[in-house]
Each structure stands twice: as structure tokens, then as C-alpha cells.
Structure 1
């Protein structure tokens, strides 16, 4: 297995902890949080390729903002802990002692953040120590229950001592539950989901446990050395605790207590816009993450205010406004889901902007229970919509047309249709249905929460000059309320040349390695009289497929970009080549590790690569011609590794009918050509390091002769 960095969307220049905090949403394992001085979230953590995982910034600076040592004497003003549990909320803590809470950081791209520990005076319940926050443990069902662990010593904040604090109201008030814990840093906390008053703490003098909510603590187990414990966690399915120490290895402890279930309850609405008179559908799920089955499970849910009961699935019964599901059994590792439908009051007043479903929970005959987090459903307007993407760019050869889809989503709670229009731009625009076959001016009816696609067709005039652009504003207007609309822009590029140059050299592992080598390629093309357009991926990573298909040839270079510089574009490159395109690709470290094992590399570049270091990073002083190939007669051409500052050339194994066109000093292939329904020339070394300007121009000429043969 090859590890790949997940850094897309993260500003790696942010000030941050040496080991940045990372938190996985246990109820949605596609969602991963990390933080520097601000919080980042990805919603596709399990994407097939690391290159496809993208983080977005979802917070401002959640520290006091210093760029040096923190005001409280801590290392820096950086986020040091993230806490997530049930519901949609997220907590953060920083080295400079600030604690923030967001009720919607799991669901919103622009969530609300609330500072929790602003003091109103000594001994105020809002007061927390201004020491480094080391860990945040949040109840897996109810985000209002959370614990904070603090580093440092009480003497540093004598006006507010303590190492572990608890809230049951999402941070409005805090209680010091340090009890008799020694005055030492607490580095990690874990809540026992079977026993809510049991909490495990990793301290600088070993692990501790409380069985009574922090009133008293005791050393956990026997035989553990007096050593700093950096992290403690529990495998709930086997009731095994694991502790990682600073210098004394990892330790485990089997819980000898009787097997017990552990219930986690969650609730979601159907995700459909609702308003007065709408039905609102909920699904409540109870999971058992304990090591014993749960029997006699009862789920209860009060009917939310401003709604009336409609129905309950799975034999649920409404009794005086509380819906109850009884007699359920949930095996260890299993789950049960029940459904509830309510109707929002048709006469709901404008002052109500949400429907809040709270106080739902589950109990079991064995004792363990769970209470859920509030489920907040916004009241939507009757008519609202979005149009996506907000902007897009594409292109077509002069005298031809290009089509792109826009998606219109009904964000109102009433069914609607939408009239399409275009304004601005110099190229003609028309609209077709989602199949891009039938002309339309108005969409079909779109129910609340549903989407429809419209095909935008742009005709590029035969008289358009190369690289001419036309930008039109595409608007969808509600027929239910014509004052409501949504718009996006559609930019079209006219193509009147045969070659596209793709500049992919700006994504090196460090800024110092991001060397611009564009001129080496454009100079060689110009010397051979080849006209071209240039697309710089540093300026716009979204290289449109239709635009690519408007060119017969693509020249693509990656410079020092690493890792997997073409990984994001392999699907588009496949489609381009399947259409008969010609690709010249040059770069180093293109194949490093798993990047070289993709289907595109094997089936389209025609390289067999095993993902090991056997062929990776093989320096060579020169590349050598191969008789009978397009390089016949060039002899040995020296490479200049000083240009990029490293020697990360690769040896390759051509497969199928691909032909070796260069070998390295060890007589191993490091470039190939392939001719079939499409054509490829691949250099596993950077052409910018190849010989002189005249030799680079000669090589480009040979490549294009091969393409046109």
C-alpha cells in the first residue's frame, strides 16, 4: 500500500501544529476534518484516488491570531483539537486556549462559529483555562455533551485551575470534572458509549478513569509505567482500550466487565425543501456499537412543535404527541431504522424559520441508552432555485458548436418550472433538453428538492478568430414567481489551431520547486512553426473536455509537479484519446508510487508499472536514440538536471505495441511512442532538460511528424 498526502484545498503555508488535528465523522466516514489556524473539511474522504479528495475552508481564524508564540506561553496560535460527535456540530480548541463551537459545521459550507470560553469574571461558569486545549471528546449521539482536556499546569491559570471540563448544553456552561486527577497535562479523552459516566483520560503520568462523571478518578489498570500517554481510545466492539505513549510504546487493556450494548442514535430529515403545509419525513437510526446485543429497545420521539403527526413506519405508535417504537432487538454491530412523517402547520407564521425535532432517544433492557442531537430543518420559501455551475468554460473549433449542461435545483417547497434565457456574449446561444437533442425554452416541472438539467448550446462562427471568447449569462427564471431567478456564466473559446499546450508545472511539493518551464515547450513549437493555444492549470484547474477535443494534438508537461500530476485529468485524457487525439506528455515523477499503476497509465500510456522503487527515480546523464523509432539519428542527448534541481527520471516498461524511443545510460527504456486509433508520445523525463534549444525543436518536429504520419 502506498500512502498519499491529502492536501488538495489546504493551504500548506498556514501556521499549524506540527501534528495537525484530524477527526473523522463516525456517522459519515466520507467526511473528514482537519485544522491549521482554521478548519478544513472534505466530504469525499473515501474517493478512489487521493488526488480526488478535496478540502474546503469552513472557518475563519479560530485562534487569537498571533504569528509567534501564543499569549499564554503555548507554542503558537493554532488549532490543537477538533471534537465531533452526534448531530451536525463541531468543536475546536487551540493552543492559545480558545474554544469554538459550530452547530452546523458538518452540513454548511459557511457554518456559524461561536466563541465559548469568553469570561464574565472569575469563577463564572463560562470561564475556561487559557491553556492549550489538547483533546475534545463529544458524545456520539448528543453533541451538547462534550469534554475538554487541557495541557499545562494549574499554576499557569491559578484563577481557573482544572484539566477536564464538561458541558451538557453545547458550551453555554462548563463544569470542572477534574476531581482528584493529578495536576498534570491531560492529552486525550475517550467517552465510554456503554456507560455515560465513564471517561478515560490520557495524562503525562499514565491513563486514568472515572466511573462517576469526574467526581473521582483512579489509575487505569495495573502495570502501566509512569509515562506520558499521548492518546487513548476504545474499540467498542471488543471493549479493548489502547493507549499510545511517548517513548514506551503502545499498550492495550481488555475490559473484564460483562459484555454490554452501546447505543448511538441519529436522525435526519429527507433533505427536501419544506414549508407551511408540507410533509416532513424523518429517519431515526439506532446503531449498537457495543459487544453485546441490545434487547427491548424502545425509540421515542416527540412530535416537533408547529407540526402534526401523519404516520409512523415500522409499527410506531403516536400517544399524546410522542411516537414510540417498542420491542426492538439490535445485534452487536447492527442497527435499526424507523421512519416518521409529520405535517408542518399550514398557517405557520413567518417568525418561524425552522422546525426543530429534539428530545428523541433510545433505551434498552440492558440499561445503555442514548439521547439524540436536535435536528433542525429550515423553512424554505415557496419559490427558490439554484443554477450550477456558477461559471463554466468550454471551447469548440470554429464553425462548430459545443454543448454543456447546467443543473437547476428547486430550492422552494412548491413544484415549479423555469424559463431559460441568455444575455451578453457574441456567439449564438440556444437551449436543449438534457439529452441535447430537443430545443426548449422552459423546463419540465421540477418538484421541491429535485433537479433538472438543461443543455446550453453555443455555436462558434466560422469567421471567429483563434482564441476569441464569448461569455454569456445563462438565467433560469421561476414561472411560479418571475421575480425569482438564478444565473451563471458560460464562456466559450474559439479554436482555429491544431495544438493545445497544457502547463501543469506549478504543483510541486514546495514553492521553491515550482519552476516555470513553459517557455521550453512554446519555443520549440514556435521554432517548428506550430501554432497553439495555452492552458495554464495554475490559473484554472478545470480543463474542459470539449475544449480538449477541439484540438488534434495536446502537448502536456508537468515540470516538478508532484505527486500524481495528471491524476485529476486521466478520465478526460482517456476520453480525448478515445476520440482519436494525439498526446505528447513529458515530466518526471509522473509515475511515482501508485500514480503509475492506474488503468490510464497501463492502457493509454502503455506503461507497465508495479508501484515499487524498482524503476522510480533513476538518474541518467543522457538519453539515447533507438534505431527504427522516431528518435533514430539523434544519438545521445545530454540532460540538464540542474534546471529542475533533482534527478527524478523514471525507467518504464512499454506494453502492447508501444515502442521504446529513448533509453537511459543503463540501456533501460525511459520514453515510448504508441500508434493506434490514437497516438501517444511519453517521455518519463522532462523535455526541458533535453539538450539544446535546437535539439528540443528537433524532437518536437519528430513528434509531430509521427502524429501526422
Structure 2
């Protein structure tokens, strides 16, 4: 979806467009990211091209979101999925680089992620796309001048990973060989996920290499952006040559390829962006991926796979054959789409895939009923695809964990809500069956001072036990909390909500539910994000609370700096909300417009005050127009926000060798 565009300003300042990049419509992505982390001047950002809801960024640690294309930028949430993947310094790096920060992220096929840092450390995780607590492995550790390991201890500028097989990857290094004379080289290749590396710098000039791109149609073709222009190798790095002619003598910061049109794009340091049309014969480019059904499995379970081959080249692929060996510790059950099992290898033949198209086939195997306890996973590897035109692809290992018979999770782990005294409030919890057996769950509550009961997912029928939940499925339970009429204002009750497996009563999952009693009419919401900083030391909150106190108005206070999750039911318990944003920008209320709309629709009264409420595109939202009755002809930029410079370059870049091209 070309409407989603991601970028950064300097520092930790990730943002996105969802409209293709219209003027001043970008929204910051901040949820879950610590803005005070030490980081590169421009933090690295990497999009999972096989799952474009997944986006990675990094400071000295890695962050991942699985909902990058959420309807609102405010709903995009990042998780921290790594420890410090640098040497940990807080000043200049030991190798003379700027800092100990992650400078490159590499993702491709499968579930793996690579990182590289300014201080020369390279890490690999086989499961960083799928696990919230992934494994990270330090690769080819170099400990100094006398260390003869392959990789140099210089800044890692770029990581290119094969789109199908994460075991194939390339590293690009900044700096010069003199800095690590015992470990020279600027481009290194692995075919075994980083266990070993080969220097494929060939005859590249001894200059920083800033970016790499793999050609998916020609596996031995690699493009490099260097400080002295763009280069290409057609033989896996044995020899390199300048890419085209007419390119200015300037550092190239980034190079990439539009594979559907075979157009190369190069971003320079000061001379704009250039494009190069590839005139080589049209060719398909195959990308193969494989996923299981995502359902917990165990001994005796059926295990379902879907194998997808995409053609991202500029020509159709014919005579496509997909092969997949039946995994160890399983037996063949069936293959869809006319697949045939021959001596333990399943084959699908005679497929045609148009440029931009894809084909998906399905395989079912059964896990051995007597699977030994020593096996914790089923690994499906060595699957691949070939075409009559020549391009082919091999896949990454697909690892399916063996689940216990009974296991579960309860979400959210904690939640807060509120209700007026003498009334009740309901919140949903979701129970997911993580075992491979169907199960039901008994609900209980403990520890709270307000009465708690349980209802079905519609919050209408009382229950004590959930309906049956198949393996991998979820069910919702409504938690009802009654706030006594005698409760004092701001009194809280925190109950522990527990779901217990009926199949194995020793297995359970819990979360907490906090309820706030409301006995006053007014809520003050402190949304002044800069109030406590040295640059913005005015305590705006005191003006509002002092005025209310002087008039004898009792109120509760919610500080969004301390807790951004302001519950809607809690808001609705008040007749009046006084909401101030001070000098916060940009778009300080955008995160809460949906809740404010629901509050006002329910008859609530809102007093809203702030300096930059309509900063940027915030002044053009439907909520501002319909509820604040304010209209702006076009977005305006707050004078307190940094300007953005946009520029382009139109020049000719012509290749005199095997490939000819023209800038468009």
C-alpha cells in the first residue's frame, strides 16, 4: 500500500504518512519507544516486505510494531524486543565511531533479523519477527587488533538479506581498511545465518560502503552505494564496476530497486535523488515463503502449511515447480492444488505466475503420536521454487513449536477503569488457548474491595465457566465491577482476575482490574507534556486546579504524562471535563479524539484549552470540524516545530556496459 510512508527527522523521531505523503499530514509514531534512548542521528527503519504491518526501528535496542498500518497513528504500538546490542558506551565508540548505537537493521525472508552497530557489533535473531522475547546471537565477535575473526570492528552501515532465505545476507561497512588493517574489507557475505562470513569486497575502492541491494532476479548481482558513487557486481563480489555513467562524483547514501519495473534509485549526499532504468531482458524474480496455520500443535496433531511464491520481477514466470520435503517426525496427510508426494518430497508442477502475481499451495502433515519429549519443535526446511526462465528461490526454515496440552493467556495483563458511586462498570478480558487440546476455563476474582462478577462476551448473561475454546482460539469474558454507593471519591479497588483450565486445574493465567470510584462531577485532564521540562517550566495545571478550588469545585485529576491510557468509562462518569494541553505539540489531542467524541455524544461537557491544539494537520480532522466547530482552509505549521525541506534532482545517468539506462 503506497499510501503508507515512513521516515524520521533527526534523533528518535519516527513518523508516518497514510495518504502517500501529502503536505504536513505526517504523524509521529511514539507509543512504546523511549525518546531519550541514545541513538543514531537518523535512526534505522526497516519494513517487513512480506508483512507490511510489521515495522522495525532501533536506538541501542530494537523496537518492533505489528500494527504499523493501524487506522490511527496513535494506535501504532512498538515493543522493545532486544537488550542493548552495542558495547554499551555512552560517549564516542571504542572504534572511534560516533556512538555505541545500532546503525543498521536487516530483514528478509523467514522470521530472522540482523542488526549492526556503529561500534562494529553484529547480532542475529532467528525469531525476532515472531517472538516478543527473541533470542539474539553475537556474530563473529571481534575483540581488537590481534583478533583474526572475519568481520572488521568498523561501523556497520547496511545489511541486505535475501528476500526468501534469511541465511543469505550481506554486510556493508563504513570507514577505511587502515582503521582495521588486520580485518580489511567493506562487503561481507554469509550463507549460513552468520556462522561464517566471506569478504566479497573484490576490487571495490577502499571507501565507505553505505548501502546494499540484492537483485532478486540475478542472485549473484549486488548493488552498492559508496562514498565515491554506485557500484555493481554480477559475479557475487569477485569483481565490481561503476554502475552506469554520468553520475556525479558524490557520496551515495542509499540505493534500492523497484523490482517490478527494474528501476534503481540512488539517494545522494547533497545532489538529490537519481533513478536508473535497467535495460537488461525482462525476467521474473521469485520470493518463496512458508507459514504454518498458527494453531498450537502437539503429538498426534495435524500441522497445516501454506507455501506462497510471489513474482516480484518484470516478466511472468512459467513452468514453476515448488518442492517441499516432509518434515522429520511427521507423516504426509494431504497436499492441495494437485501436489504429489513422492518418497517424502511433495511437488507442485506446471504453475505460471504473472509479474506482480503469486501462487499458494497447501500441505498437511501429522505429527508423530509418540513424539519424544526431546523434540520441542517441528522444522520444515529445504523447500524451494524454480522457473523455466531460470530464476529460483529457496526458503527459510519454518519452525513450529510443540505446545503443551493445556496452556492459556489472559489479556490485558492490567487495566484501569472507573464508575460513579452506586453504579457498575464492565471491561472485557480475552482468554486464548495456547495448548493443543480444546479447553474451558473457570473464572475467579480475588483481592478487590468492590464486588466482581463475570458475564459472557455480550455482558448480558452471568457465567462462571467459559464455553469450550479450541486450540489457538480465544474467548472474551466481561468483568463487571459494582462500585458501592458508600464508596468515597477516588477510592480504588484492584482485583486479580484469574482463568483456570478445567482440563488441568494447575494451569491458569491472571491479570489485574483496577476500578476508581467517582463521587464528584469534574475531571481535570493534564495533557501538558512539556510542563515539567526545563524549557517549559510553567505549571499550567496549577492555574486550573487553583481556580476550581477557589470556587469550591471538587474534582479528580488525571495526568496523561503519567498514564496515557485514559479510560472512556471513567471519563463518562463525570459531567464535566476540563482538558488543557499547555504548549504541547504536535496535535496533542489526536490520540484522544475518538474517546472525546464518545464522551460528548453521551452528553458530557468539555472545556478544552491549549496553545497548539490545531498544530499541523490536526486542525483539519473531522472531530475538530464537527465538535469544536473549527475549520481551517489548509494545514498550518506551528512556529515551534522544525521545518522540513523537500527537494529533487533531475539529471541523466547512463550506463555504457551491459545495462543502459536513462533518468526519468
- Assess if the C-alpha contact under 8 Å between 2:276 and 2:661 holds in 1: no
CA contact (8 A) 2:275 2:663 kept: no
Residue 708 of structure 1 aligns to a residue in which SS? coil
8 A Cα contact 1:505 1:515, kept in partner: no
The C-alpha deviation readout for 1:62-90, integer Å capped at 9, x for no partner, is: 11111111111111111111111111111
Residue by residue, what CA displacement relative to the aligned partner does 1:598-617 show, whole Å, maximum 9, x if unpaired?
A: 22112222222xxxxxxxxx
1:509 Cα offset (Å): 12
Matches within 5 A, 1:547-586: 547-586=570-609
Look up the SS of the partner of 1:512 in the other structure.
coil
What is the aligned-residue RMSD (CA, Å)?
Answer: 7.8
Pairwise CA distance, 1:181? 1.1
Asked whether the 8 Å contact 1:123–1:160 carries over to 2, the reply is: no
Conserved 8 A contact 2:140-2:150: yes
Instruction: Return closer, same or farther for 1:707/1:500 CA change in 2, 3 Å cut-off.
Output: farther
With structure 1 as the length reference, what TM-score do the two structures score?
A: 0.84
Contact 2:150–2:198 under 8 Å retained in 1: no
Offset at residue 55 of structure 1 (A): 2.0
Distance 1:507 1:456, change over 3 A: farther
Aligned to 2:473: 450
> Is the CA contact 2:276–2:662 (under 8 Å) kept in the aligned structure 1?
no
Question: 1:240 Cα deviation (Å)?
Answer: 1.3
| Whole-Å separation in 2 of the counterparts to 1:118 and 1:372 | 27
User: 1:308 is matched with which residue: 312, 326, 331?
Assistant: 331
Compute the displacement of 1:510 (Å). Answer: 7.2
Which one has more relative contact order, counting CA pairs under 8 Å at least 6 apart? 2
Residue from 68, 72, 77 that aligns with 2:91: 68
Comparing 143-152 with 565-574, which one deviates more in the overlay?
565-574
The answer on whether the counterparts of 2:532 and 2:539 sit within 8 Å (CA) in structure 1 is: no
Residues 706 and 335 of structure 1, relative CA distance in 2, 3 Å threshold: closer
Answer whether contact 2:229 2:250 (CA < 8 A) is retained: yes
Contact 1:120 1:127 in 2 (8 A): no
1:547 deviates by 1.0
Query: CA, structure 1 residues 295+32, in 2 after alignment: closer, same or farther (shift >3 Å)?
Result: same
Match of 2:39 in 1: 16
Assess, with a 3 A threshold, how the Cα gap between structure 1 residues 123 and 324 changes in structure 2: closer, same or farther.
Answer: farther
**Contact 2:277–2:662 (Cα < 8 Å) also in 1:** no
Q: Is the 8 A contact 1:558 1:586 kept in 2?
A: yes
Contact 1:126 1:172 in 2 (8 A): no
Q: How far did residue 115 of structure 1 move? A: 0.5
1:33 and 2:75 matched: no
Residue pair 1:582, 1:707 contacting (<8 A) in 2 also: no
**Correspondences of 1:233-382 after superposition (within 5 Å):** 233-382=256-405
Moved more, 133-142 or 502-511: 502-511
Check the 8 A contact 2:274/2:663 in 1, yes or no.
no
Deviations 1:320-366 (A, max 9, x none): 11111111111101111111111111111111111111111110000
Residue deviations 1:462-498 (CA, integer Å, cap 9, x gap): 1111111111111110000000001111111111111
Scaled by the length of structure 2, the TM-score of the pair is 0.89
- Per-residue deviation at 1:269? 0.9
Provide, for residues 414-442 of structure 1, a one-character-per-residue CA deviation record: whole Å limited to 9, x for no partner: 00000111111111111111111111111
What SS is found at the alignment partner of 2:130?
coil
Measured after TM superposition, the shift of residue 125 of structure 1 is 8.2
Residue 385 of structure 1 contacts residue 408 of structure 1 at CA under 8 Å; is this kept in 2? yes
Tell me which moved more, 560-569 or 365-374: 560-569
> CA separation in 1, counterparts of 2:519 and 2:29?
39
1:173 aligns with one of 178, 184, 196:
196
Distance (Å, rounded) in 1 between the aligned partners of 2:71 and 2:509? 33
Supply the distance in 2 between the matched residues of 1:399 and 1:708 (Cα, whole angstroms).
Answer: 72
Q: Is the 8 A contact 1:143 1:373 kept in 2?
A: yes
Contact residue 51 and residue 564 of structure 1 kept, 8 A? no
Please give the alpha-carbon distance, in whole angstroms, between the structure 2 residues aligned to 1:508 and 1:158: 52
Contact 1:294 / 1:330 at 8 angstroms: preserved in 2? yes
1:449 alignment partner, SS class? coil
Q: Report the secondary structure of 2:160's partner residue.
A: strand
CA shift, 1:48, in A, is 2.9
Q: Give the 4+ runs in structure 1 shifted more than 6 A.
A: 120-125, 508-511, 705-709
Q: Retained in 1: the 8 A contact 2:331–2:365? A: yes
For residues 280 and 562 of structure 1, the distance between their equivalents in structure 2, rounded to whole angstroms, comes to 50
Most deviating of 385-394 and 558-567: 558-567
Residue in structure 2 matched with residue 389 of structure 1 by the alignment: 412
Could you tell me how far apart the structure 1 residues matched to 2:532 and 2:216 are?
41
Q: From the superposition, tell whether residues 232 and 297 of structure 1 become closer, same or farther in structure 2 (CA, over 3 Å).
A: same
- Partner residue of 1:689? none
Encode CA deviations 1:199-223: one digit per residue, 9 max, x unaligned: 1111112111111111111111122
Matched, 1:531 2:554: yes
Q: CA deviation at 1:579?
A: 1.1
State the secondary structure of the residue aligned to 2:553.
coil
SS of residue paired to 1:534: strand
Judge which range, 102-111 or 45-54, deviates more.
Answer: 45-54
Distance 1:247 1:537, change over 3 A: closer
Alpha-carbon offset, residue 514 of structure 1: 6.7
Q: Deviations over 1:524-578 (max 9, x none)?
A: 1111111111111122111111111111111111112222221121111111111
Tell me the CA shift for residue 155 of structure 1: 1.1
8 Å contact from structure 2 (residues 279, 661) kept in 1: no
Deviation at 1:49, TM superposition (A): 2.8
The 3 A distance-change label for structure 1 pair 496 and 249 is closer
Offset of 1:54 from its aligned partner? 2.3
CA contact (8 A) 1:515 1:560 kept: no
Q: 1:539 aligns to what SS in structure 2? A: coil
- 1:507 to partner: Cα distance: 5.5
SS in 1 for 2:128: coil
Determine the C-alpha separation between the residues in 2 that align with 1:707 and 1:285: 34
Q: 1:518 to 1:122 in 2, by over 3 A?
A: closer
Write out per-residue CA displacement over residues 27-62 of structure 1, whole angstroms, 9 at most, x where no aligned residue.
Answer: 111211111111111222222333222222211111
* Matched-pair contact (CA < 8 Å) for 2:148–2:183: no
Q: Look at both structures and tell me which one has the larger radius of gyration over its CA atoms.
A: 1
Change (3 A) 1:522 1:121: closer
For residues 107 and 511 of structure 1, do their structure 2 counterparts lie closer, same or farther at Cα, with a shift above 3 Å needed? farther
1:307 to 1:514, Cα distance in 2 relative to 1, 3 A? farther
Give 5+ residue unaligned stretches, structure 2: 1-23, 632-656
Do the aligned residues in 2 keep the contact of 1:288 with 1:334 (CA within 8 Å)? yes
Contact persistence 1:121–1:127 (CA under 8 A) = no
1:162–1:176 contact (8 Å) kept in structure 2: yes
Query: C-alpha displacement at 1:226, in angstroms?
Result: 2.9
**Do 2:305 and 2:363's aligned partners in 1 also have CA atoms closer than 8 Å?**
yes
Q: 1:507 to 1:442 in 2, by over 3 A?
A: farther
Worse overlay, 565-574 or 412-421: 565-574
Structure 1 residues 323 and 576: alpha-carbon distance in aligned structure 2, compared to 1, 3 A threshold? same
Give how far 1:511 is off. Answer: 6.5
